[in-house]
Structures are given as structure tokens and as C-alpha cells.
């Protein structure tokens, strides 16, 4: 199982995800990819197994990821103040990995029907979903 966490800006969302995933899956391979070095550093400090920065690491990691987690904006070209390139958004969107995206209603992206949850609640939901998907995968269902 290869978990890829992608974030930009200051990396707070990604770091929170990495921290929660590390707590529930202590031996998992968690690859932190930041759209900038600050985001990557924050996720590494939170406990990621490895980290990389920029467009090409996202393109490469999405090829064989089992799960991709991050804010909803990672699938929108030019999001995060231009940090998400069109190629990044396409690679994430076309990846066969299960995508667990946090519906943060910011930056002109609003998910109708998504409840307004705190960051902690969103991250807990994301971790629970990953665990459920992995259990289904291991059971062959």
C-alpha cells in the first residue's frame, strides 16, 4: 500500500493528514509531496516516510499510488494560488488510486452538500475512509 499525501501553501492540511495516518497506520509507506518545499517540510516533520517537491514527483507518484489524499484543490488546475499545475491536476485525476479529498470550501471551490466540518473532523473522516477502503481491498471486496 502506497499512500501519497499532496499539499501546497504551508502544508498544514497535508501535515495534519500525515500525522493522523501515521497514528492509525504506523508502518505504512506515506509519501509526502508538496507543491513547494515548505509544504513538503511540514509533512515530513509530521511523520511521512519520504518526501518530494514539485510537479514531476506528483506525476511519478500518481502512477502507482494506492491512495491519494489532500485538499480538493489538488485536482483543480491553477488552484492554491497557481501552485497546482494543469499536469498535476491531470495526473492526480487520471491516477487509478483511490482519492480521498478534503472538501474545503475555499478558493472559489464549493462542494454543494458537503457539511462544514472542522479540519480535525475532515481528517478523521479521511483516515476512516482510507482504513475502510484498505480493509475492502484486502478482503477482495
What pLDDT sits at residue 113? Answer: 75
What is the reported pTM?
0.91
What band does 107 get if pLDDT is binned at 50, 70 and 90? low
What band does 46 get if pLDDT is binned at 50, 70 and 90? very high
* pLDDT mean over 117-121: 88
The 10 Å Cβ neighbour count of residue 125 is 15
Calculate the alpha carbon distances from 74 to 18, 24, 28, 110 in Å: 16, 24, 22, 14
- For the record, the C-alpha cell of 35 comes out as 507543491
What number of CA atoms fall less than 13 Å from residue 136's CA on the CB side? 9
- For the record, the C-alpha cell of 64 comes out as 502507482
Is the pLDDT at 53 greater than 70, yes or no?
Answer: yes
CB within 8 Å of 82: residues ≥ 6 apart = none
Amino acid at each position: 500500500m502506497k499512500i501519497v499525501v499532496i499539499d501546497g501553501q504551508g502544508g498544514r492540511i497535508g501535515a495534519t493528514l500525515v500525522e493522523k495516518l501515521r497514528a492509525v497506520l504506523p508502518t505504512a509507506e506515506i509519501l509526502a509531496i508538496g507543491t513547494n518545499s515548505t509544504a513538503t517540510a511540514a509533512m515530513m516533520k509530521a511523520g511521512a516516510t519520504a518526501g518530494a517537491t514539485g510537479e514531476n514527483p506528483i506525476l511519478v507518484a500518481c502512477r502507482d499510488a494506492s491512495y491519494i489524499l489532500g485538499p480538493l484543490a489538488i485536482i483543480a488546475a491553477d488552484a492554491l494560488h497557481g501552485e497546482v499545475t494543469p499536469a498535476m491536476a491531470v495526473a492526480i485525476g487520471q491516477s487509478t488510486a483511490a482519492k480521498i479529498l478534503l472538501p474545503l470550501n475555499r478558493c472559489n471551490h464549493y462542494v454543494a452538500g458537503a457539511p462544514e466540518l472542522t479540519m480535525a473532523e475532515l481528517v478523521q473522516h479521511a483516515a476512516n475512509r482510507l482504513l475502510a477502503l484498505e480493509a475492502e481491498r484486502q478482503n477482495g471486496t
